[in-house]
Amino acid sequence: MAENSKRKWIIAIIAIALVIVLALLLTGRGHGPRVQVAAVTREDLTSAITSNGKVEPVAPMTARAEFATFVTEVKATEGQAVHRGQVILVLDDADIRAQLSQARANLLAAKTDLQNGRTGGPPDEVAQLQGDLANAQTQVANLERSQQALQGLLAKQAATQDEVAQNAAALATARANLQTLQQKKAALGQRSTVTVESAGLRVKQAQDQVTALEQKVNSATVVAATDGTLYSLPVRKNDFVKVGDILAEMADLRQVRVRAFVDEPDLGALAANQVVQVTWDAMPGRVWTGKIEQVPKQVVPRGSRSVGEVICSIDNDKLELLPNINVAVRILVHELHGVLVIPRGAVNLENGQHFAYLVKDGIVSRKNITIGIASAEKYELLSGLAADDQVVIRTESVLQDGMIVRTSEAK
């Protein structure tokens, strides 16, 4: 009987203890901290770099003034579609044409001097000198024969000494004249050699001047080099333009280039042909796509930033993007399909180890995890949790392993 009574007391004590523990558990469950939770899911994940950039034409044609003058005609309007060979504007080139005429005359004179130098001198002077030389040579030859004949006659006493002396004097004079003419011919040849060199330089200088002036005359009529859009026309009729002033800018804007300014820490993830998305505040909701053409080889300062300039080609078939506008750029670095992902707010880091708080049946447990690439809102989850696991989004409450919490779905 005493044994049975003792047993009943033990059972009663155990029952009371169980009731107390259950009450404590229920009480604790009702008063645990409230946390927001989200599920680990399986979905597509895109890792992207966002930055800003500027639109540029791919192959712009810029017409600049090659001489100072006035604009006489403007035959197009800014923003207009133009065709190859179409006249855009005309400059006053009267002064340049006058300079060109004088330069052509100078060129002709230099070519004449060069030709004369190569042939020994001016044709009339050369002809006169050759005639004089021939006459002098003939005279000397005749007088030499006469001198021989007179000396023979003098020996036979058929001629006088005076006749021989007079002929000898005439022969000496003829020989001196011939020598003078021969010296003139040699001097003319030397002058011709010098003339060839100097005239050759003058011909080159005059030809260069003619070519330069012809180019300026041609530049006075600005024409479209190809089909495209005249996106800049800063001059008007009767405006005065200086050398180097921009007259017109045009390009085929169906394909444009965006120069994206990417911060230095993000440059290592870039590669050619990565997909690029461009948006413009002036046309909200519109997205233009393209790809990276060239990754930067250096970084440059841009304000307070250190950036690499990434060259991207963008489709602009509707001609909506304009040169020199500022745009937002999104570069798709990685794109994965059907991978486990976890919200960024659920990932914590301590001593180099990433972890998350798993909530199951209202109880928290800490789980070490491994993450991969990241998007703006989520990480790729490589290990540590499974699909549909509920994890705590970052909270102000201090959580501990085994803690009881109240949960609500994160919005």
**7 vs 372: CA distance, rounded Å:** 60
pLDDT of residue 184: 72
**290 vs 73: CA distance, rounded Å:** 39
The CB density around residue 248, as the number of other CB atoms within 10 Å, is 23
pLDDT in tens, the chain (411 residues): 455 666 666 676 776 666 555 544 544 444 678 899 999 999 988 888 999 999 999 989 999 999 999 999 999 999 899 999 999 999 999 999 999 999 999 999 888 877 776 766 666 666 676 677 778 788 878 877 887 887 887 778 777 888 778 888 887 887 888 787 677 766 656 665 656 677 778 889 989 999 999 999 999 999 998 899 999 999 999 999 999 999 999 999 988 999 999 999 989 889 999 999 999 999 999 999 999 999 999 999 998 999 999 999 999 999 999 999 999 999 998 888 999 999 999 999 999 999 999 999 999 999 999 998 888 788 999 999 999 999 999 777 888 889 999 988 877
Report all structural domains of the chain as residue ranges with CATH numbers, in order of start.
Answer: 32-45+338-409 (2.40.420.20), 49-59+253-336 (2.40.30.170), 61-90+220-251 (2.40.50.100), 93-219 (1.10.287)
Closest CA to 377 of 339, 338, 346: 346
pLDDT digits (tens, 9 = 90+) for 101-115: 999 999 998 888 777
pLDDT of residue 117: 65
**397 vs 406: CA distance, rounded Å:** 12
Helix (H, G, I), strand (E, B) or coil at 397: coil
> Using an 8 Å Cβ cutoff, are 341 and 44 in contact?
no
Closest CA to 291 of 331, 253, 264, 319: 331
Closest CA to 362 of 324, 408, 328: 408
Calculate the CA dihedral of residues 226, 232, 236, 239 and round it to 10 degrees: -100
The amino acid sitting at 3 is E
pLDDT digits (tens, 9 = 90+) for 328-385: 999 998 888 999 999 999 999 999 999 999 999 999 999 999 998 888 788 999 999 9
HSE-CB for 268 with a 13 A CA cutoff: 1
Phi then psi for 2, rounded to 5 degrees?
A: -65, -35
